[in-house]
Structure 1
Amino acid sequence: MFDPGLLIQSLPLLLAGLWNTVWLSAGGLLAGFVIGVGVCSLKLSERTVLRRLGGAYVSVFRGIPLLIQLLFIYYLLPRLGLDVPAWVAAMAGLALCCGAYLSEILRGGFLTLPPGQVEAARLLGLGGRDILVRIKLPQALRATLPALLNEVILLIKASSLISAVGLAELTRTAQNLAASTFLQLQFYLAAAVLYCVVNISLALLAGRLERRFEAGRA
């Protein structure tokens, strides 16, 4: 059964939930990107200990389901005396998990770069940080853009799990509305449509950026 009037009345709540989904995912993505670059640097290090440390991080955070990571962080931090809001724990869980996947994507991009570029940059006097930021990272981002944007879409969908720590993102909002009105199909369908709008928009943006980069290369 559908109730269009009730759906329109509940739309602000669904959009508020969508906003929580988007900004928490964006925060987790940005923090995860920083983590991913750091872990990728460890895995590409010439030191065996650092490579193993980076590999251990990837294995752990790709091997444990995101839901378990979120619950572990959410319940562990208070036991350590860190009274943080639920959104901090949720964003931390998203970032740690996302960082593991992004590190492998970026590592694949770094491995495609000609080694002569790094050698030439060192001869010009550039340090390791400048080589990473000005030479390696821009080219790796271009090479891995489709995979990176695909990971963004997967992260937004996976963010539905943060409802487990009590945050009213889109999925939790739809669940609450469905439970209070007994119109499960209506509100779950509305949530699905909103997820599709966001993810299809990101997919279109990815295609446009990819075509622009290809045109630039040409």
Structure 2
Amino acid sequence: MDRTLADVWPALLNGLFTTVTVSSSALLLGGPLAVLLAAASRGGRLPRTVAGLYVSFWRGTPILVQLLVVFYMLPFLGLELEPPVAATLALALNTAAFQSEIYRAGLLAVLRGEIEAAKMLGLTAAQTFLRIEVPQAVHKMLPALVGEMQALVKNSSLVSVIAVMDVTRRAQQVAASTFRPLEAYASALLLYVGIGAVLAGIGLLVERRLTQGARQR
């Protein structure tokens, strides 16, 4: 029996849930590692070297190959993970490299004069970091972070190659069952556009709130 697209939209929405879950989990898991990498890049020679090698590796190799290596290497090491978990891990390791560069650039954009002024006022290094550097850095790096979130969602479409039932994988199944590849992939495209628009809207809202808060201070 021929199935219409209306019949398979629940499958696409189920794939959307998987895409959002994998992407958001990777973003949250990669965040702390990114902070550590950004901090290491401001440390001594050894931490800078380690952070630089990590960032160069994960930014300089294809994410598709990274996904395949993580997926097939873990069982070889005796660690069996479900495809969604392995995909989340690979994406987290990848986005950590990109996020760390965003954090590093945001902190470097803070004027040294303001940091020196904070020290002259008697603020400790921790107080200066939390009260002076972080608020300004967040405002400066927010657009880049939103862009990285959108890129992470787009890159998550590659997890379909390791049998993760995301939007792309569901669209492939829909195309095969309905013999309507154009409509199936166009529907998937609209879902990705929708996610990107939501992320952009959230980023714009947060940026406005931060700007209003800075003006009130």
String of CA shifts for 1:103-150, please: whole Å, max 9, x gaps.
1111011112234537629954555xx665565434322211011011
Sequence identity of aligned pairs in percent?
39
- Deviates most, 18-27 or 208-217: 208-217
Aligned to 1:183: 180
Aligned to 2:194: 197
Q: Which amino acid aligns with 1:8?
A: A
Could you tell me how far apart the structure 2 residues matched to 1:168 and 1:161 are? 11
Tell me the CA shift for residue 91 of structure 1: 0.5
Could you tell me how far apart the structure 2 residues matched to 1:147 and 1:161 are? 22
- The alignment's TM-score, normalised by the length of structure 2, stands at 0.90
| Pair 1:78 & 2:75 matched | yes
Aligned to 2:25: 27
Q: What is the root-mean-square deviation of aligned Cα atoms in Å?
A: 2.1
Could you tell me how far apart the structure 2 residues matched to 1:30 and 1:172 are? 23
1:1-218 equivalences under 5 Å are 6-45=4-43, 47-115=44-112, 116-117=114-115, 120=119, 123-125=122-124, 127=126, 132=129, 135-218=132-215
Tell me the CA shift for residue 188 of structure 1: 0.4
Could you tell me how far apart the structure 1 residues matched to 2:122 and 2:79 are? 47
Tell me the CA shift for residue 197 of structure 1: 1.1
Aligned residues of 2:115 and 2:128 also touching (Cα < 8 A): no
Aligned residues of 1:28 and 1:94 also touching (Cα < 8 A): yes
Q: Which amino acid aligns with 1:34?
A: P
- The verdict on how the C-alpha distance between 1:131 and 1:161 changes in structure 2, with shifts beyond 3 A counting, is farther
String of CA shifts for 1:137-172, please: whole Å, max 9, x gaps.
343222110110111011101100111111000001
Tell me the CA shift for residue 88 of structure 1: 1.5
Could you tell me how far apart the structure 1 residues matched to 2:17 and 2:207 are? 26
String of CA shifts for 1:15-63, please: whole Å, max 9, x gaps.
0000000010000001111111111111111x11111111111100001
String of CA shifts for 1:82-105, please: whole Å, max 9, x gaps.
112111110111011101011111
Gaps of 5+ in 1: none
Could you tell me how far apart the structure 2 residues matched to 1:206 and 1:187 are? 29
- The verdict on how the C-alpha distance between 1:52 and 1:83 changes in structure 2, with shifts beyond 3 A counting, is same
Aligned residues of 1:43 and 1:51 also touching (Cα < 8 A): yes
- The alignment's TM-score, normalised by the length of structure 1, stands at 0.89
Gaps of 5+ in 2: none
SS in 2 for 1:168: coil
Aligned residues of 1:121 and 1:131 also touching (Cα < 8 A): no
